[in-house]
Amino acid sequence: MIPRDPKELVELARGGSRTALARLLTYVESNGPAHAATASLAYRVPAPYVVGLTGAPGAGKSTLTDRLISCALAHGSFAGQHDFSEIGVLCIDPSSPFSGGAILGDRIRMQGHATNEHVFIRSMATRGHLGGLSLAVPDALRVLGASRFTFALVETVGVGQMEVDIASAADTTIVVTNPGWGDSMQASKAGLLEVADIFVINKADRPGVRETRRDLEQMLDLGVHEWRPLIVETVANTGVGTDELWAAIVEHRTFIEDGRLDEHRRTRMKKELDKVLSALLRSKVADLAHGVSYDAQVDALLAGTTDPYRAAETLLAES
Ligand SMILES: Nc1nc2c(ncn2[C@@H]2O[C@H](COP(=O)(O)OP(=O)(O)O)[C@@H](O)[C@H]2O)c(=O)[nH]1
Ligand SMILES: [Mg+2]
> In the structure, which protein residues have their CB atom closer than 6 angstroms to any atom of ligand 1?
55, 57-63, 105-106, 109, 202-203, 205, 235-237
Give the Å distance between the CA of 68 and the centre of ligand 1: 14
Tens of pLDDT, residues 155-180: 988 767 777 778 777 999 999 999 98
Contact residues for 127 (Cβ-Cβ < 8 A; gap 6+): 29, 30, 31, 136
- Tell me the whole-structure pTM to 2 decimals: 0.86
Contact residues for 5 (Cβ-Cβ < 8 A; gap 6+): none
Q: Which residue has the higher pLDDT, 168 or 254?
A: 254
Q: Which fold has domain 45-260?
A: Rossmann fold (3.40.50)
Average pLDDT, the chain: 86
CA distance 99 to 162: 17
Residue 143 has pLDDT above 90, yes or no: yes
3-state secondary structure of 41: helix
Tens of pLDDT, residues 24-64: 999 988 878 899 999 999 999 888 999 999 888 889 999 99
Give the Å distance between the CA of 161 and the centre of ligand 1: 23
Residue 133 has pLDDT above 70, yes or no: yes
Q: Which of 237, 240, 242 is the pocket-test mutation for ligand 1 (most atoms within 8 Å of CB)?
A: 237
CA distance 168 to 162: 10
Predicted pLDDT at 312: 96
Nearest CA to ligand 1 atom 12: 58
C-alpha pair distances (Å), 102 with each of 95, 106, 260:
10, 6, 35
23, 2 contact by CB (below 8 A): yes
Q: What are the residue boundaries of the structural domains of the chain, listed by start?
A: 45-260, 275-318
In ligand 1, which atom is closest to the CA atom of 235?
27
Give the Å distance between the CA of 100 and the centre of ligand 2: 11
CA distance 161 to 68: 25
| 227: nearest Cα among 204, 208, 203, 199 | 199
What is the number of the ligand closest to the CA of 106?
Answer: 2
Tens of pLDDT, residues 74-120: 886 654 555 666 899 998 876 655 544 445 556 666 767 777 888 99
Nearest CA to ligand 1 atom 28: 203
Q: Averaged over 186-193, what is the pLDDT?
A: 65
